[in-house]
Amino acid sequence: MATTFIFVTLFSSLLHVEKVERRVWQSVIISFLGVALIVLGSGKPLTLTEQSLMGDILILTGTMCWSLYTILSKPLLKRYTPLKLTSLTVAMGTPMLVLASIPSIALQDWNAIPTQGWLSLAFSACLAIALGYAIWYTGVSRIGSARTSLYEYLITVIAISTAWIFLSESMNLI
């Protein structure tokens, strides 16, 4: 996911959605180096097994889709407010998600879900999804796709810090 900014910038430039300044391209290079340092600094050997390669391809494809989604939303934000566009995308995406989930939904024991599970779902739907997307779209409409996607690096910093503090992950110079 740390490559989102790189893909948003690349796609924005290729599709002529935003003019990308030289300093942004410099940021792309720094971002790529940062991603490489995180991957190489894990201390784990790089593997190209079929299982890990498939997972890597799926994550990279998801990141590319999110990047395209972000830059293609920019023109729509001229017509819709961030809240309205969030509502529209959630309304359009939910039926597809429900259809894909039918096998799992049919097997789910709904009575076994604790109250905390339902509260977590409500929290996720209201804050992480609805409010998060509205804030994201506000950023895209005000400062552009590439600059907004830079804020995704906070996820990496928070994830690494959290893993170090709460999960006793080891940190090294890289």
Domain boundaries, the chain: 4-166
- Asked if residue 45 has pLDDT above 90, the reply is no
Q: Which tens digits make up the pLDDT trace of 48-97?
A: 777 778 888 898 999 999 999 999 898 899 999 998 998 898 899 889 99
Q: What does the pLDDT read at residue 144?
A: 87
Q: What does the pLDDT read at residue 133?
A: 86
Q: What does the pLDDT read at residue 31?
A: 87
Q: Which of 45-49, 134-138, 156-160 has the lowest mean pLDDT?
A: 45-49
Q: What does the pLDDT read at residue 54?
A: 84
Model confidence band, residue 11 (pLDDT cutoffs 50, 70, 90): very high
Q: Which tens digits make up the pLDDT trace of 99-153?
A: 999 999 999 999 999 999 999 999 988 888 888 888 989 999 998 888 888 888 8
- Asked if residue 174 has pLDDT above 90, the reply is no
3-state secondary structure the chain: CCCHHHHHHHHHHHCCCCCCCHHHHHHHHHHHHHHHHHHHCCCCCCCCCHHHHHHHHHHHHHHHHHHHHHHHHHHHCCCCCHHHHHHHHHHHHHHHHHHHHHHHHHHCCHHHCCHHHHHHHHHHHHHHHHHHHHHHHHHHHHHCHHHHHHHHHHHHHHHHHHHHHHCCCCCCCC
Q: What does the pLDDT read at residue 118?
A: 94
pTM of the model: 0.74
